[in-house]
């Protein structure tokens, strides 16, 4: 790994610290290097706050003072995992800020696909006489922001399928009795995932049988938006999903009605391209990523439509011998981890 790659790796380590707080912005890390020493670094603040480049610059100013910082900037390079923005959004353009700092060189991991930035940030820097290097750990930087790239390029959220199954391939009991498959450590990991993604979705049958809260109780951080598919609004009003404790969206065929934390969205032609309709509506609401929690019919609907990007499957040591068969996917095994006595298998689609 060369010097550029080492500093870009540090940018990625910083960027991930924004997981679960920056959406719908991308996760970005920035490192300022002067004479082969890191003098400042930062990552993107929670949505609406300063971007990574601003935080890195401010860290240098806080440490050295404005006058000394400007002297250091004149012989420094800033590494940033995503192209600096070139437009006014919640904050001013980072490209303009870097130009004003007098930095002579910028090293970029990957380009920003957003139309108001794509190449324009780099163009601004180059027109100002700044040397720009691009494509350092490009694939790693793109993967870091796979949710953001999916939202921009495909006009839908990044979809994570999640379920647990027994060692002999069963997903749920044959009857409607709730029965836990995975262990306590896996449950805690799932709650960590909830804090990292924008939304979590279940179908009506899962809601009726399990009466889940879908909130983040076993990990720190926010709870995701709760998404329920309930065609005829059969879920009783006293169920956890309708308690308005966190934002909840109910896709249905009956009504559109918005309360404080409970939104009913009617979908016309409900049974036609339902998964596509749900994802597009969520895209319009700036939902960048979603976990599909179940049940089997709901998971299979997204699988059949080819609308998934990761499948996270817990396999327990339990063997039932009978039950509802777990969903089947056409995926390639990407990661295998041990979670206490469970196995976590992560699949990617075979393209």
Comparing C-alpha atoms, which of 57, 53, 48 is closest to residue 22? Answer: 48
User: So what's the pLDDT on residue 108?
Assistant: 98
3-class secondary-structure state, position 39: strand
Q: How do 105-110 and 158-165 pair as beta strands?
A: unpaired
pTM: 0.94
User: So what's the pLDDT on residue 117?
Assistant: 79
Query: Which pLDDT tens digit goes with each residue over 90-109?
Result: 778 999 999 999 999 999 99
Q: Name the token pair of 349.
A: 């689609």
Q: Crossing angle of helices 274-284/296-304, nearest 10°?
A: 90
Q: How do 158-165 and 131-133 pair as beta strands?
A: unpaired
Distance, in Å, from the CA atom of 192 to the CA atom of 42, rounded to the nearest integer, reads 23
Comparing C-alpha atoms, which of 204, 159, 188, 96 is closest to residue 309? Answer: 159
Mean pLDDT, the chain, integer: 94
Q: How do 248-252 and 262-266 pair as beta strands?
A: parallel
Query: Which pLDDT tens digit goes with each residue over 34-79?
Result: 999 999 999 999 999 999 999 999 999 999 999 999 999 999 999 9
| 288 Ramachandran zone, left/alpha/beta (phi>0; psi -120 to 50) | alpha
Query: Which pLDDT tens digit goes with each residue over 192-240?
Result: 999 999 999 999 999 999 999 999 988 888 999 999 999 999 999 999 9
Radius of gyration over every alpha carbon of the chain, rounded to an integer in angstroms:
23
Distance, in Å, from the CA atom of 279 to the CA atom of 159, rounded to the nearest integer, reads 9
Catalytic entry in 5, 41, 53, 268? 53
Query: Which pLDDT tens digit goes with each residue over 245-303?
Result: 999 999 999 999 999 999 999 999 998 999 999 999 999 999 999 999 988 999 999 99
Comparing C-alpha atoms, which of 156, 166, 145, 218 is closest to residue 187? Answer: 218
In degrees, rounded to 5, the angle at the alpha carbon of residue 134 between the alpha carbons of residues 131 and 138 is 160
User: So what's the pLDDT on residue 88?
Assistant: 65
Strands, DSSP E only, in the chain? Answer: 29-34, 37-43, 76-82, 105-110, 131-133, 158-165, 170-172, 199-203, 225-229, 248-252, 257-258, 262-266, 289-294, 310-315, 324-325, 331-339, 342-349
> What distance lies between CA 92 and its chain's CA centroid?
24
Instruction: DSSP letter for 108, please.
Output: E
115, 73 Cβ separation under 8 angstroms: no
User: So what's the pLDDT on residue 115?
Assistant: 74
- Quick one: what percent of the chain has pLDDT higher than 90? 86
pLDDT at residue 351 above 90? Answer: no
Q: Return the bridge partners of 104, or none.
A: none
Distance, in Å, from the CA atom of 99 to the CA atom of 122, rounded to the nearest integer, reads 11
Contacts of 66 (CB under 8 A, 6+ apart): none
Distance, in Å, from the CA atom of 284 to the CA atom of 125, rounded to the nearest integer, reads 32
User: So what's the pLDDT on residue 116?
Assistant: 77
Query: Which pLDDT tens digit goes with each residue over 133-146?
Result: 999 999 999 999 99
Distance, in Å, from the CA atom of 15 to the CA atom of 43, rounded to the nearest integer, reads 5
pLDDT at residue 83 above 80? Answer: yes
Known catalytic membership, residue 268: no
């Amino acid at each position: 790994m060369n010097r550029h790659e080492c500093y870009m790796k540090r940018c990625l380590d910083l960027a991930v610290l924004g997981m679960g707080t920056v959406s719908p912005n991308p996760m970005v890390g920035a490192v300022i290097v002067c004479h082969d020493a890191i003098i400042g670094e930062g990552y993107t603040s929670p949505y609406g706050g300063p971007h990574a480049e601003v935080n890195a610059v401010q860290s240098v100013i806080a440490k050295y003072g404005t006058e000394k910082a400007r002297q250091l900037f004149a012989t420094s390079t800033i590494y940033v995992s995503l192209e600096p923005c070139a437009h006014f959004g919640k904050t001013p353009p980072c490209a303009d800020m870097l130009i004003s700092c007098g930095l002579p060189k910028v090293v970029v991991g990957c380009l920003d696909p957003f139309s108001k930035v794509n190449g324009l940030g780099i163009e601004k820097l180059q027109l100002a006489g700044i040397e720009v290097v691009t494509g350092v750990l490009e694939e790693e930087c793109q993967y870091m922001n796979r949710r953001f790239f999916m939202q921009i390029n495909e006009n839908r959220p990044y979809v994570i399928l999640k379920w647990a199954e027994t060692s002999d391939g069963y997903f749920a009991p044959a009857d409607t009795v709730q029965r836990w498959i995975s262990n306590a450590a896996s449950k805690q990991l799932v709650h960590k995932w909830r804090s990292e993604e924008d939304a979590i979705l279940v179908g009506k049958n899962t809601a009726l049988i399990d009466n889940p809260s879908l909130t983040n109780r076993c990990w720190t951080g926010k709870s995701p938006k709760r998404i329920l598919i309930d065609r005829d609004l059969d879920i009783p009003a006293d169920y956890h999903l309708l308690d308005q404790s966190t934002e909840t969206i109910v896709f249905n065929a009956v009504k559109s009605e918005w309360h404080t934390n409970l939104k009913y969205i009617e979908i016309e032609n409900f049974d036609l391209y339902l998964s596509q309709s749900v994802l597009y509506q969520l895209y319009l609401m700036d939902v960048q990523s979603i976990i599909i929690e179940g049940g089997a019919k709901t998971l299979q609907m997204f699988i059949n439509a080819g609308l998934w990007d990761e499948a996270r499957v817990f396999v327990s040591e339990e063997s039932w011998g009978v039950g509802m068969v777990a969903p089947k996917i056409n995926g390639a095994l990407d990661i295998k981890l041990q979670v206490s006595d469970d196995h976590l298998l992560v699949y990617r689609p075979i393209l």
